[in-house]
Structure 1
Amino acid sequence: MAAVVKVWIDEGCITCDACEDTFPEVFHVTDDTCFIRAEVRVDGGYDENRDSKSAVISEFAAQLEIIEEAADECPVDVIIIAVETEGGEAEPAEESAAEAEEAAPAVVEVAEAAAAAEPAATESAAAASGGLEELMQGERDLLLLIGSQSGNSEAVAADAAKAAPTYGLAPRIKMMDDIAIGDLVGVRRVIIICSTWGEGDMPDTAEDLWQAANSSAAPKLPGTSFGVCSLGDTAYEFYCQSGKDWDGWFEKAGATRLLDRIDCDLDYEETSPPWIAEALAHVAAVDEAGNFHADALDDLRALAGPAETSRVAAGAAFDIPQLTQAERQATVRVFRYDPVTGESGHDVWQCALPAHMSVLEVLRLLKGTQDGSLTFRDGAPDDPTTGLLVNGRLVLPGRVSISQFARGDEGALNLRIDPLPAYDVIRDLAVDHDSYQRHLAASRPWFRGATRDGAQLDQGVMGMMDAPTAANLHAAQDIASNQLLHSASDTVPHNREYIGPAVLSRLWNRSQDPRISDAGRAALLAVIQGADGVKAEADISSVNRQGRMGAVASANLYAAKRATLQEQHFTGRHGAHVWFFTQTVKLSGTLNETVLAGGTLKMGMLRNLYRGILPRMLLGFTRTGGPIMRDKQSFLIGAGIPASIGKMPKLVNSPVEDHHEVVALYNAMDGRF
């Protein structure tokens, strides 16, 4: 019988992205927890799936192994998977030895996977001798209280949270700046993991809680059992002082110390795991009433098995593989500019390069081996400030390999690397992003929220939003680099007052957020609809050409432009230009400079009377893009000869102030131009 697969997220998610990295089609990590995507669920919901426990659709149920792999990657084991028959009954969990080698148990709960690895005989004996079954009943919460400056304490806490379900505990990780001192009242089990900063100081995340703990309002904790893992550096005088301070404070508050504090040096990855295992056994021996059962320690240690002495070893199976490709002959042209002499041009290198190299790695190679003066913005692969123009494409050079610019599998590589347009060049490929930053700051893009309904969750009071709206808001601002997007518009280099597509896209997306106040939305729309806003963009299609980033931004720009024109009823120069130009082209079916010059404004036809354009339109003397010699025939041959009709050149050549707008209109309406 076919199986029904259910997956949900239990409490305690630390939003580490491990599950989404493994199976992004199913898991989506938010700011606070992890959601099961709506498109994979039978009920179409978008949340942790903890309450409804909706099954996943058959397409993803068939990929159970990948879901289980994602669950294994979770450091705190909060991903729960259940497999049931379509009739609703769970498949048998106990099978013969031969059957067990071929099929997984019907119901798999990731949080209990580690405990299930222990031989059944040992587990039964431990439960019988120490009364583990009775001890495991009731409330089994464990608070992992973290004070961290550089992330080391969080790493230790993640390991502890992953091992805690093996001892029958439900771990909950809290940073010290996310909890009030009064919240410790009533907590039965707590493990404090805290690092020391500077000369015995608390880390930044722990300072406020420490001040509250030493105030007159600090509570007493007679029913709390605790242990302290302190991280520090013996090179400092006050080694592990923060952990020592918390150890003393909990004791003075009336809490029960279950085991001695451990002070870990820089080798904490080796020394902390054995202590964590022992601490988990001790807090697991505390029952629901807060009583410590020392006689259950041996059984709990046996239940969990030997402690890990180190974290994941190098060369583990999930290490990212190194993808390699054969060498290709490449011609690399790199723009060079010397700000001292004002000289500019391109340097050309002929070289053999592995096709898997990124453009950024090529630049590093050229700088290190050919010309140390080569200047470009270096950084991580996803650094938004490193953008370049490569073969006419706007890219982040660390995220594209040179093979993406090859013609065919064996063809030669030709790379032309230029600085981003729309910015002032500092030197070579390095540009000044000040124009984008200036427009962003002037637009005042901050969020001004409205008072709205919320819900009381475990994390506190939180506003609510339906899943489709939230998904659309996130998708509409999925931009890899705003600095890159700013240079995607052909208008920006010609109009430096135009705030640009990156700022416009961001403002429009924010204005559509249902959480924003009316005053905040009005302020954003005033910028969007201003003279330097979306009306200044001459050709949105130039943005749309820039891959997925451009498609997302252009959709926002089109929506903003449509709303602006409708809001202003096509008034003003821009609205009239769009409206009457469209109507004129529809009526005439032809785009030429006569129509463009005189037929796009409300009074255009009247001006045509004294400018001579109207007779030219009536008699067909309009330039249509034919050969130049045909145009000159009208000077030599009478107008009655058919060859000269419609070939009259412009009578007066006048400069065009906004040339890019004219080019955009011609390109949009008539491909011949």
Structure 2
Amino acid sequence: MSDKPLLILFGSQSGNAEDLSAKAAKLASTFGLSPTVKGMEEIKIAELSEAKRVLIFCSTWGEGEQPDNAEDLWIAANEDGAPKLDSCHFAVCALGDTSYEFFCESGKEWDEWFEKQGGSRILDRIDCDVEYDEPAAEFTSEVLARFSAVSSEGVFEPDKVGQVIEPEETPDGEKDTAPDEAAGVSPMEGGIEQFLSSGDRTLDILFGSQSGNSEGLASKMAKMSKEYGLEGIVHDMDGFDFNSLANKKRVIIICSTWGEGEQPDNAEDLWKFANSDAASKLDSVHFAVCALGDTSYEFFCESGKEWDGLFEKLGATRLVDRVDCDVDYDSPAAEWALEALPALAAVDSTGLFHEEMLDSIKQYVDGSGGGADGEDGFAIPSISAESIQVEASVFRYDPVNASTGSDTWLCSIPGHLSVIELLRELKSTQDGTLTFRDGQSDDPNTAISVNGRLVLPGLTRIDKVAPIREGSISLMIEPLPAFDVIRDLAIDPWSLERKRESSEPWMVAATREGIRTPQGDIGSMDPVSASRIHSIFDFQSQNILHSSSDCVPHANGYLGPAVIARLWGRREDPRSSSKKKDSIDIFLSSSNGIKAETDLSSIKRQPSVPNAVSDALLEAKNSVLTQDGFNGKHGKHVWWYAWTVKSSGRVNDTVIYRQALGPFALLGNLFSGVTARMVLGFTRTGGNMFNGMLGMVAPPAGIGKMPKQFNSSVNKHHEVVAIFNEMDGRF
């Protein structure tokens, strides 16, 4: 056991100082220190006289006040009889907010008090603003290295700062060893979870960006890094201290190229400094580079290539090869991250790369390892299934040659794999030109059609998408209908986006009553209404909902069910103003609104579309038809007259189908009640009694629901479908 105890005290109001203390304790063991973390309410002031190393993290509350858990200790520290600290080495990390007058006042007070009591300041106090993570992390690493140079007698030895101290020999000539070493246990045998959570797990991600793509990708990498036990910190190259990289262990560079091979604006100054004599060596750094560019330019990804070469020149270790991404960078960057992040995660807190841990880390993250231990002691099994024979036919489209077709592969793969994993495997092992939208398992933009089902491939298991017959399964994988295909399975969603924008989907709120809460005045809504509104918007992918309509591929102007559902949800929202609701009614009742929807059953039968959404579409259609008295050639109205279609393809709107069969049919029609219901239809629907002057001249045409005298063309998709549904039941 180490003979270098370190007392870490925290004074915290919101938990930030406590969190930093816990991180410091994890990192301390890598410097040969034995940390003890205590809240300031857990210690007596007299106990400080025995401490040789004290690290304080303290926030400031209100107008320069000590946090609640530090108040009693601070009072005791200022009473008579406070201990002398002549043999104590200390350092203070103060947390505060520069918007307050007494910035970091509590930390300053503890710093002065320790010095007043005779303590030796081992490192100057750092005063951190609300964005404290990066400066606090740098301070912690440096101060722990200095504490490690304080001997067991309490003497600071500057020449030993950051050095690994060899175990001292015992009187019988044997070296004093740690328990794990004495038992012959490697640190790696503590388990993959311990490895991924021990010590400093910081991953520094630097971005050089001109249009924002690199910055957005850096943020995604930081989020993904958490799965690998890393703490991703994103840095803008603009204003970044290059020499601070000398103390880093893991670095990712994401950089785009501007113009003719130039560095982006925010990276230019850093690049100049990095190439100067003042730049530090990077011997302890492990790095990886993701370069963004455009193959239509001569100097493709030049900036990323330059950073890659410079880091290697300065002594840094490249863990994975650089990836050079074209304008469609999402998929290659995501694949690269699946290699780069495990490699960087295999660098321990001392900066040593453990290549033997790579496979274990990948298996741990993707869940293919042995499973995690449950809280009650049993093992949670990993999900797996036996291999099955898969015949995968994939739609192919080459925009260069304007050729279409399909490729079929026969393969044996585990049934529990998702469809997106199958596509990745085909792309990596069979055909690198296979194109599809890749992403996270729940990414709504990855949607495709598998055996006629519209699905998110990352959430769809292969053995669940179709029946297994004699140990084999057949898959027909196609792009979503109703969209233009860019290449293979990749579609262009902008047609839907343009329709969404044209529908003016923004919120126009009504003035309404609210309630006063500690967080401020907010509007209120009863739970039933809130749940209903939420259910209307609760669909996985707007692309899937849009494609689920049989009408969309044939009616280019139709807004589509995804846009209609959102409009109806906004229409039913009690927060919407009356003016906004009237505007939505105009959209819904237009020729490209919900009336253009042929058959809602095609939407309802898609498993990916919740019933609440299809029910909302039906409500919208009923509402629109009711508002205009069921006038106009909606589907049901055309169906009534389907049998009177002339060879010209025009509907004879003046007669009912029985009348077209001769005088006897005409008499039968009078007794059937059909004509009466049509003439008197306005009494039930609220429609007009007379539809123009025709009802006065040539009744019953133009009266009630009886249509006008003259023929009219059938040019709407829902009208054509209504006719064919009546003429041929097989349609």
What TM-score does the superposition give when structure 2 sets the normalisation length?
Answer: 0.45
The structure with more radius of gyration: 2
What TM-score does the superposition give when structure 1 sets the normalisation length?
Answer: 0.49
